[in-house]
Structure 1
């Protein structure tokens, strides 16, 4: 077992991981806005009072806030959280108003908003594609090599040499597909479609559960079928193929993230599995201590999560703005300001409640509640 890094390493790694990702996310918004001729008044990494900053020749104030848990770009004309026109905006001179966010057509505003999450996905694609080019791609067919006695696979009668074709309604093309599918489905009954001796057969089984302890002693629960791979090999990836591999791997992780969220909403995964800034800082420090390759891989994973979360249709997030733009496109007129205001208030409350929940979970993961109970007892 590797000794956990100290608090300073956690903080340093957290800034190394989150800082550039937030910057690139906001840079996506900024570059798209600049492309369409929108003036950016502020570009901030972090929230709260400005620690340091400067104003460029275009009049954009670039600054760092004292709370490094996000960032934002404030475009001219974007005068409230719901991005609704105000009397202040209407009072602007025509030439100045033309350079504001609200003056742009709906499709341009949508692109500007979507550019942030897209930037995060591009970061992940570049990293995962570069890894594939540097180290090759492991190819592991979905063929049963070994069966763990007493496992779900053993109870289903699976044998060495069986080729798994489907789990539930999911087509299985590689062994990793099975691992991803079962990891978040402990206790679920699943139909397994497999091929044996040229014949296709189906059987039902209940996905088992197993505890996994990493090199730092962190214990996580995951679902498992109870089979090992038959064989695997590494194949080189050319420079031309690398971006395609990066896209495929990024998309696979997006799908896995979406499925994890679905399982969480349905109550099949406990809320205690959700983590927030403190847990990200902990995982960042652990990845940092393992070396640059692990840290960069972790950055790709967090970048995917950052892009995915921001696309959720929750007011305040980018996805909330895009949802209202979609409604506006269908109705051919904007959503009423009062509706937008209440929606964004509700979205803000939901985000704050979620932050409180994940912070409580993080403190529990650090053993705070257990230690307090010990002191009180």
Structure 2
């Protein structure tokens, strides 16, 4: 669990750096004063001012943040001393739109780059082999004795030609003992295991990941498949959102920091390929959620900027800030509920 927490904090710091970096670049290009670009929280262990912006690293180097003039109140900085034309609300609505949009856009771009590199160096998955890749820790498969690179020859005497056949058989035999004939190197062994129902995938499982077959592709193809997979992840987020709005998925099913830390550990133990794909999906997740038109999120700022572009009238700054404050309270409340559900799930398991 400790390693899972460390990995979770590390990848979320990378995600936050990409996100805040997008806001930072957009603000600088728009001529908005950036008071500070920092990594971590707690007492500062290093800081340097360059061109009016303080760059800092704090004692606990986790996550990142950007402080923008006119948007954030910063201790030790008198907003009245900053020229009005360098403040967030002094800029045209389209520039404020771009600044809010660039954070989520950088997360989605990072997902695209990650997936393109994965496809470029490893190849594109073209199906499953009959070999086992990863065996999940403490799973039925591990307890039964299945290992990495075991080849499934037959189940209950029925020959297995494709891994899909083995998966279907396992899925359809909840609480029924199966006899698996395995080839391990030059040795043939028989293993007995009883699949158990998995609530998340709605089927019986043993707890192993098949070895995928990969096809090498050229750089342009890797970019194409990276874009295709990124779009597929975005569409998946729309499906999840629809299920939340229609009640098909409950808030209790959502994962907060504790749940994501556990999932991070599981993907890390499944190999670097699964971990990188999970990292890409987290980036898409963060980017998508921040674009939702809700107060306190980037999408909320985009809504106000869009209203101003269309109507030529600005919602009062004080009203905008108050709405975002209430939105932040609601968001933190939701996060607390989701985190509590994470902890209760962890204790039950």
TM-score, with length taken from structure 1: 0.65
Distance in structure 2 (CA, Å) of the matches to 1:38 and 1:138: 45
Distance in structure 1 (CA, Å) of the matches to 2:247 and 2:4: 31
Distance in structure 2 (CA, Å) of the matches to 1:262 and 1:46: 34
Structure 1 stretches (4+) deviating beyond 4 angstroms?
A: 64-70, 232-235
Answer yes or no: is the 8 Å Cα contact 1:17–1:284 preserved in 2. no
| Residue 318 of structure 1 pairs with residue 298 of structure 2 | yes
- The one-character-per-residue Cα deviations of 1:206-245 (angstroms, maximum 9, x if unpaired) are xx9x99xxxxx99443468xxxxxxx97543211222222
Gaps of 5+ in 1: 1-5, 82-87, 141-207, 212-216, 225-231, 372-377
1:231-310 paired onto structure 2 within 5 Å: 235-310=215-290
Q: Given the alignment, which residue of 32, 39, 44 partners 2:26?
A: 32
Q: Given the alignment, which residue of 26, 43, 51 partners 1:50?
A: 43
Equivalent residue, structure 1, for 2:8: 14
**Cα distance, 1:266 vs. partner?**
1.1
Equivalent residue, structure 2, for 1:110: 97
Equivalent residue, structure 2, for 1:75: 68
Number of aligned residue pairs: give it: 273
Distance in structure 2 (CA, Å) of the matches to 1:270 and 1:127: 30
Distance in structure 2 (CA, Å) of the matches to 1:329 and 1:10: 45
Q: Secondary structure at the match of 1:351?
A: helix
Q: Decide whether aligned partners of structure 1 residues 221 and 277 sit closer, same or farther in structure 2, where only a CA change above 3 A counts.
A: same
Deviates most, 96-105 or 248-257: 96-105
**Cα distance, 1:10 vs. partner?**
1.8
Answer yes or no: is the 8 Å Cα contact 1:22–1:45 preserved in 2. no
Deviates most, 129-138 or 59-68: 59-68
**Cα distance, 1:279 vs. partner?**
1.1
Distance in structure 2 (CA, Å) of the matches to 1:326 and 1:103: 15
Q: Decide whether aligned partners of structure 1 residues 45 and 354 sit closer, same or farther in structure 2, where only a CA change above 3 A counts.
A: farther
1:58-97 paired onto structure 2 within 5 Å: 58-64=51-57, 70-79=63-72, 92=81, 96-97=83-84
Gaps of 5+ in 2: 128-171, 176-195, 204-211
Distance in structure 2 (CA, Å) of the matches to 1:125 and 1:14: 20
